Chains A and B, each alone.
Chain A
Amino acid sequence: MAARRGRSAGLIRLALYGIGLVPAVVSFVLGATNRLGADPVNTFERTLGLWALRFLILSLCITPLRDLTGVNLVRYRRAVGLLAFWYALFHLSAYVALDQGFDLHTLLADVTTRPFIILGMVAFTILSALAATSNGWAIRRLGRRWKALHRWVYAAAICAAIHFILSFKVIRVETLLYGLVVAALLAFRVYRAAPRRAKAPPV
């Protein structure tokens, strides 16, 4: 029984990776064959960044979903979080390789002087640390510190959301909506972590 459930969870996880990578594969193929519009590199780069943020937000939704509705998808959280990391890595690679053509001079200036890029880099650094410790071995090794480390995911989400807002010349509604969702998820976290009064009023 338990084994069967474990196996189907494994299959679902596999399917999640498969489906999750579809936007990246599709836009890569379109871009490589010149069907991604007039500015394929930028479109590809932006598509990857947007999906990184989406998966990051999805991974943060799983606990509130369980707490509020009882639907428990916690066993898929790692897969969703890792998808966010992979997309961030693709996004960064598209920027370094396709957009800037490995121009170290420009890249160095970008990551040292532009707050917009620095925020993206901070988010990416955090996601890398989280991805590197998203395995049973790291969880056992780090013990209590693992939880503390993985709370940094909120910092990553905030940086990424601001990075998104700043990536346009004007403030766009959809970027604010993403920011709002991140803020709401963080607020939920803070609310849950606050010490309970004896009789909390019903929420």
Chain B
Amino acid sequence: MRVFRYPSPPPSSITPHALWLSRRDLLAAGAAAGLVGGILPSRAARAVDLAAQPGPLSGEGLKPTPLRDVTHYNNFYEFGLEKTDPAERSGDFHPRPWTVRVEGMVAKPRTYDIDALLGRKLEERIYRMRCVEAWSMVIPWIGFALRDLLAEVEPLGSAKYVAFESVVRPSEMPGQGGVLPVLDWPYVEGLRLDEAMHPLTILAVGLYGQTLPNQNGAPVRLVVPWKYGFKGIKSIVRIRLTDRQPRTSWNVRAPDEYGFYANVNPAVDHPRWSQASERPIGAGGGFFGASRQLTLPFNGYGEQVAGLYAGMDLRRDF
């Protein structure tokens, strides 16, 4: 796999060399589970290389958006409203130690340590990402299918939905303490169980070959490539199976603008702008490099997912 440079000091500059080498060996051996945390300075947010197999579900012919843009053009309102805020203001955020609680209507509720998640068999998935604001990227995520995790906790027959909850840490996330209430914290999201079990739905722990930078939702986030980006809740601390449709942050904030489903749909406009087309980010060339491109139904994943919504009126359930 190609190795990408990450704009932060290499681990070799902060860890005694012998330890660093042994950590690399461990990672390479895929035996990082439970050990990485012990070797790293406990709360370090340094990027670590991840070993991942290219997944069969990566889109074909997709050219990834440059790393610089993927990590410096973000909507992550916990860190501020500007696209540049997450990169600039997430330096105090500690993505470890970290646990994710999986509970609710399951036979075996469990708490996963982030190192256990990083130690799973990871896949690279190159996905399109379409923001509800009519821009898009292509991102090489690293993660694992959410369905594999859910299978381990054994959802009960009564479970119909999956609710996700993000972290609340105003001391580390300056956007959570703003003057005007932006969203109700914690950020919450939800999926129907069959959406959550779809093989395209992943929990991402990295991108571009390394652990997730803080501004992209470290240490673990949801990626549902056929839905608008805001469904991809970041910095997840809780996953709960339930029989009721969960509240979702943007839907609570503006129900006429952001639906529960939020499937990418060029035929259903946002009240304030058209969703028919999108501006690809990072095409280069300034004004004249990137022209708009047409937005695809289900963001181009219709073949795989349209069946989930058979018989539904997607104008009403937008």
Q: Choose one: A36, A39, A101, A170; the contact of B281 (CB below 8 Å).
A: A39
Contact partners of B180 in chain A: CB under 8 A: 170-173, 176
Q: Taking chain B's interface residues, is the majority helix, strand, or loop, or is none over half, making it mixed?
A: loop
- Stretch of A14-22, A109-117, A192-200 on the interface side: A109-117
CB-CB nearest in chain B for A110: B274
User: Is B133 within 8 A of A169, CB to CB?
Assistant: yes
Contact partners of B83 in chain A: CB under 8 A: 37-39
A167 to B286 Cα, complex, angstroms: 23
Q: Tell me, yes or no, whether B28 is within 8 Å of chain A by CB.
A: no
Q: Tell me, yes or no, whether B19 is within 8 Å of chain A by CB.
A: no
Known contacts A100-B292, A114-B272, A172-B180; is A37 also within 8 Å of B287 by CB?
A: no
Q: Choose one: A41, A109, A166, A173; the contact of B287 (CB below 8 Å).
A: A41
Q: Tell me, yes or no, whether A81 is within 8 Å of chain B by CB.
A: no
Contact partners of B288 in chain A: CB under 8 A: 32
Give the residues from 88 to 110 in chain A that come closer than 8 angstroms, CB to CB, to chain B.
98-101, 103, 106, 109-110
Contact partners of B257 in chain A: CB under 8 A: 169
CB-CB nearest in chain B for A114: B272
User: Is B73 within 8 A of A38, CB to CB?
Assistant: yes
Q: How far is the CB of B237 from chain A (nearest CB, A)?
A: 23
Q: Tell me, yes or no, whether A44 is within 8 Å of chain B by CB.
A: yes
User: Is B286 within 8 A of A34, CB to CB?
Assistant: yes
Contact partners of A103 in chain B: CB under 8 A: 277, 292
Contact partners of A41 in chain B: CB under 8 A: 279, 287, 290
User: Is A33 within 8 A of B274, CB to CB?
Assistant: no
Q: Tell me, yes or no, whether A40 is within 8 Å of chain B by CB.
A: yes
CB-CB nearest in chain A for B274: A106
Q: Tell me, yes or no, whether A35 is within 8 Å of chain B by CB.
A: yes
Can you name 10 extra interface pairs (CB under 8 A) apart from A110-B273, A170-B77?
A30-B286, A31-B287, A34-B284, A34-B286, A34-B289, A101-B291, A106-B276, A116-B272, A169-B133, A170-B183
A and B contact pairs by CB, cutoff 8 A, 19 listed: A31-B286, A31-B287, A32-B287, A34-B284, A37-B73, A39-B73, A44-B287, A101-B291, A103-B277, A110-B274, A114-B271, A114-B272, A117-B272, A167-B272, A169-B257, A170-B77, A170-B81, A172-B81, A176-B180
